[in-house]
Structure 1
Amino acid sequence: MNKDLYPKITQELADQRTDLAPEIMTVWNNFSKTVLKEGALPEKTKQLIAVAVAHVTQCPYCIRSHTKQAMRKGASKEEIMEAIWVAAEMRAGAAYAHASIAIDEMEK
């Protein structure tokens, strides 16, 4: 990871984020915990979804965090890689699907 572009998250940086917006951080942490806890979907599935979405949004912090969490929840390396491939297909599929917009514009 590019250390200039993506600094390592230290306790000091985490504390600064909290100090700058303590109420929002409390709400964010509660929201995150609530969304990712066991519900209609198992926690492992939610973490696999998070890994896939992290690859689509291209968040290196999220990729690391949710990959680690997915493994802690029992996801295999193969399941994680398959989730990443689903994300890649969706990202590529969106580009393909949107070609119809360009074709529509070219035909005007």
Structure 2
Amino acid sequence: MKILLTTVALSILPIAASAQDMPKFMKDVAPDASAAPAWQEYMAVMNPNGALDDKTKQLIALGVAAQIPCQYCIYAHTLAAKHAGATDAQIKEAIASAALVREWSTMLNGNMSDFADFKKQVNAAYGVSQ
């Protein structure tokens, strides 16, 4: 759990940092052998030059953080999203979107809805032939 918290909380740090700039809290909680690889993975995935821009990545991460829930992650990804230009309205919408997904996951799973039937309905809604 500490490694998960450490990895997701890293978003408060500027992406421009290098591998030598691993945050102290990560070194403090991660096993020596896994700290550097975790930092490298974080830097690779959260790279703002990837397929998703930094703001989008941070809003996704914030939505996930709210659902885990993880206070460290929520704090870090909220700051990072704002740093990347997210507005308060975008932050609220990202969290609401995550909550909606969680709600319907609970409803569908709890009622043991037929997955094949669900897929047919979603495909039809998006005009996907089966």
Length-normalised TM-score, structure 2: 0.63
User: 2:68 — aligned with what?
Assistant: 57
User: 2:106 — aligned with what?
Assistant: 95
User: 1:73 — aligned with what?
Assistant: 84
Could you tell me how far apart the structure 2 residues matched to 1:12 and 1:89 are? 35
Identity fraction in percent = 32
Unaligned runs of 5+ in 2: 1-22, 114-130
Task: Indicate if the aligned counterparts of 2:27 and 2:35 stay in contact, CA closer than 8 A.
Answer: no
Aligned partner (choices 22, 32, 40) of residue 42 of structure 2: 32
Task: Indicate if the aligned counterparts of 2:26 and 2:35 stay in contact, CA closer than 8 A.
Answer: no
Deviation, structure 1 residue 23: 2.4
Unaligned runs of 5+ in 1: 1-10, 103-108
Aligned AA for 1:16? Answer: D
Could you tell me how far apart the structure 2 residues matched to 1:66 and 1:26 are? 21
Deviation, structure 1 residue 17: 1.7
Deviation, structure 1 residue 37: 1.0
Distance 1:89 1:28, change over 3 A: same
Spell out, residue by residue over 1:13-58, the C-alpha distance to the aligned partner (whole angstroms, 9 max, x if none). Answer: 554324xx12201010111111111211101100000000001110
RMSD: 1.9
